[in-house]
Amino acid sequence: MNKNLPLICPSCENLLKVKQLHCEQCETEITGLYSLPIMSRLAMDDQKFILDFIKASGSLKVMAQNMKLSYPTVRNRLDDIISSINKLGKNGQ
């Protein structure tokens, strides 16, 4: 089963943070308060786009061919993700 990482508090709709990390092998547990990295705060579709973009060696032309979309459509999608990252970066500070 593919579980999605919850990002928003279902009670107050605030952005969630990481409080506990766990090692499955040695059962070590780390407790603290950590912000989620910007990448993990993006929508799943956007995260997949970024991974595909890296796999395509950062070539929008290859991305466009793989996605069967036009070059400007793919470039606009990348621009939207950059804009989201910039917003998250500002909000995170």
Partner 1 sequence: MDSNYLINPFIRIAGYKSLLIGFAGLLLVSFISYITGTHFNGLLFVGFAKDSKFVYYFLEHIISWITIFTFLFLSGIILSKTKFRLIDVLGTTLLARLPLIIAPILRLLPYFQSFVFQSWEMYFIYGAYLLSAFWTIVLLFNAFKISCNLKNERLIISFAVSIILSEIITRLIINSITFKI
Positions touching partner 1 (CB under 8 A) are 68-73, 75-76, 79
Per-residue burial over 1-39, b = 16 or more CB atoms within 10 Å of its CB, e = otherwise? eeeeeeeeeeeeeeeeeeeeeeeeeeeeeeeeeeeeeee
Choice between 50 and 78, CB closer to partner 1: 78
Choice between 70 and 91, CB closer to partner 1: 70
Question: Quick one: tokens of 37?
Answer: 């990295």
Choice between 16 and 78, CB closer to partner 1: 78
**Closest distance to partner 1 from the beta carbon of 71 (Å):** 6
**Closest distance to partner 1 from the beta carbon of 73 (Å):** 5
**Closest distance to partner 1 from the beta carbon of 82 (Å):** 9
Residues ≥6 apart with Cβ < 8 Å to 3: none
Question: Quick one: tokens of 10?
Answer: 């279902």
